[in-house]
Amino acid sequence: MLFDDRLATVLRLNATSLSGQRTQLRQLLDLLGSRRQALRRGEGVREQSLIAAAWLRMDALAEAIPAAERAAIIREPGWRFHSAELAHYLAEHEPEVAAAALGRAELSAQDWTALIPHLPIRARGFVRLRRDLPLDVAALLDRLGVHDRGLPAPTGTAPQQPTHPGSEPHEAASHAPPTASRPEPSRLRAVPTTSAMLQNPVAQADEVTSAPLGQASSPPDERGERVVTLASSRESSERSEISALVERIAQFRRERSDPAEDPDLSPRLPLGDAPEVPARQAQSFGFVADASGRIEWATHDLAPAVIGTRLLRETGPGMANGADNLVLARSFARRQPLVRAPFRMSGAAAISGDWLVDGTPRFTPEGHFAGYLGRFRRPQSLTAGQDARAAEESDRIRQLLHELRTPITAVQGYAEVIQQQLFGPTPHEYRALAAAIAADAAHILAGFGELDRLARLETGALAMMPGECDCAKLVRQIAGQLEPVLASRSAGFSLEPGGEASLLVAVDEDEVEALLWRVIATLAGSCAAAERIRITLVPVFDGPAAMAQIRCDLPTRLQSEADLFASEVRPNSSAISASLFGAGFALRLARAEARRAGGALEVDETGLTLRLPLITGLETNPKSVVSHSAA
């Protein structure tokens, strides 16, 4: 490209929401990470000012976005960076951010050699975790004494304040705040890559490690003046660094042993007793039961606690309830397999609680019943596994949509260029074709947006915006917009009650309008000639919950569908289109939106019922919720 204004375009974005800040952070990481040498000598003053503004924006985003989310963004698959300056910048952040950045960096051996001596001591341990380092870089780490894994920063200690080039250590210490929750990201930390450093990196490493913590190496022309100061402070600096490292190791061990309780630092008498280890709740174990239902074998780690337990009991103390006992008794009597049979076990902390039993009946060679062979599993472990699989499937769908958006967006952009004649005069026939292509691309991108929204709603990654709106007014408005289209087929809507009835729901107006449009437009698109759809709006009070209920009759075309949410029925006319993927997908998306809003969308043989949480105010009388005008 002739003019690279990508960085200026990203900096012009005023990201106020958390999602916009995450997007801007990804863009800045991509642009700054693609520069192998930041602030190159060939760049102009404007380019240098843009880079300086980019680092300042990175500092602001680091304060707004939590460290765990920034680390997750850096670990996203398919992203690498080649900038030593960006690696140095991220290495001075929180431990999880530094570990993620140094694991993603793809630097040359020359860049690693120049960068490692200037990294914090904690970050050097993260570099040691890599297995693809060149031999000379590994030798440099050995020379610096980095042999083990890095330790996380201890809780409650003052973070190391990064010093800018040219500032003295005592000045940085005098201006540092007494306490801080996390280290402040440094600004414009340029990694020095002088020829002297590249020729003798080991000597540079000796000089950096001998200097006080946080102080950069001296320029070549100042070494003679500072050698006396460095020699006098070498012993005290090494002693303080070793003491700090020993204290960090001790605190790390104390926090790792039991972070929820205060550590017991009192000395123990030499009585030979081992420290108590808190028991963990078992999640699953295998078992073998005899013909009477008594467990006679179990996994070796839980065998002493469960052997002898009876699966069948006359009363209910060992079961979740009487119905569960009946299920197990019926399976035993009929010699049938056990499939997720509930069972409650009492005893040690590792085995107590609710279980699900899966088992297969065993028989002797003569055909006699010999018991069951199966497995106990915790109910929550199954739910967690299902949720994890659903989240993984949603992530795959979103990644696929991201890959599909890129070429379609490019096609749309080139079509708009042709249609608007940006590169010169274009025949009207080509302009018409380009306009149609741009419209189709926009329609496809809208469908991709619906897919992404459904994936996030079903996995709980997206919530409906709270607010207040009159859903009855929105129903009348949408029905009025669709009436002219349906009038050509002598079809339409019948609203009950009429007039100016109102139903206030506790959801944002834009969210409710999009939800109602999907439902009503789907029904209107499948409406046959001379068919009228009745829509009934009533409040429903069921105990403490109050719902706004919208009941719609199903068109004849949709009543014949076995599963309406999986239907691929297309509308009769292209003038009404609720979704690119058909009626079933539109209703499935509407159902997910209703559930996330605290309501529901249900379908029976003749109608569709939408419920949304109702705002009742101080009164719970239905007459105060549904009001009619005197006219």
Instruction: Specify whether 77 is located in the same domain as 200.
Output: yes
Beta strands at 545-553 and 532-542: parallel, antiparallel or unpaired: antiparallel
Residue, of 1 and 195, whose pLDDT is higher:
1
Q: In what order do the strands lie in the sheet with 607-613?
A: 492-496, 532-542, 545-553, 607-613, 600-603
Does 463 fall in a domain?
no
pLDDT confidence of 414, banded at 50, 70, 90? very high
CA 261 to each of CA 96, 181, 256, 264, 278: distance values in angstroms, whole numbers, following the listed order: 24, 22, 11, 9, 11
pLDDT at 190 over 60: no
Q: What is the CATH number of the domain that holds 294?
A: 3.30.450.20
Mean pLDDT of the chain: 75
Does 262 fall in a domain?
no
Whether the CB-CB separation of 213 and 192 falls below 8 Å is answered with no
Within its chain, how far is the Cα of 525 from the centroid?
36
Instruction: Specify whether 57 is located in the same domain as 134.
Output: yes
Beta strands at 492-496 and 532-542: parallel, antiparallel or unpaired: parallel
Instruction: Specify whether 577 is located in the same domain as 611.
Output: yes
pTM for the whole structure:
0.41
Instruction: Specify whether 174 is located in the same domain as 30.
Output: yes
Look at residue 35 in the predicted model and tell me its pLDDT: 60
Cα Rg, the chain, nearest whole Å:
34
- Span of 44-48, 194-198, 241-245, 514-518 with lowest mean pLDDT: 194-198
Within its chain, how far is the Cα of 332 from the centroid?
45
Say how many domains are in the chain. 4
Look at residue 49 in the predicted model and tell me its pLDDT: 82
Instruction: Specify whether 441 is located in the same domain as 491.
Output: no
Name all contacts of 146-153 with Cβ < 8 Å and 24+ positions apart.
149/125, 150/95, 150/99, 150/122, 150/123, 150/124, 150/125, 150/126, 151/122, 151/125, 151/248, 151/249, 151/252, 152/95, 152/122, 152/252, 153/94, 153/95, 153/122, 153/248
For 534, the 3-state DSSP assignment is strand
Look at residue 567 in the predicted model and tell me its pLDDT: 60
Instruction: Specify whether 473 is located in the same domain as 565.
Output: yes
* Cα–Cα distance measured from residue 36 to residue 533, given in angstroms and rounded to the nearest whole number: 64
**pLDDT for 142-178, tens place per residue?**
787 766 544 555 554 444 444 443 344 334 334 444 3
pLDDT confidence of 197, banded at 50, 70, 90? very low
**pLDDT for 65-123, tens place per residue?**
999 999 999 888 878 788 888 888 998 999 899 888 888 888 888 888 888 888 888 88
Instruction: Specify whether 114 is located in the same domain as 241.
Output: yes
Whether the CB-CB separation of 125 and 145 falls below 8 Å is answered with no
Which parts of 105-167 fold into alpha helices (H)?
Answer: 109-115, 121-128, 135-144
Look at residue 256 in the predicted model and tell me its pLDDT: 59
Which amino acid is residue 361, in one-letter code?
P
Does 440 fall in a domain?
yes
Within its chain, how far is the Cα of 441 from the centroid?
28
Domain that holds residue 196: 6-216+233-251
pLDDT confidence of 486, banded at 50, 70, 90? confident
Residue 585 burial (10 A CB sphere; 0-12, 13-18, 19+):
buried
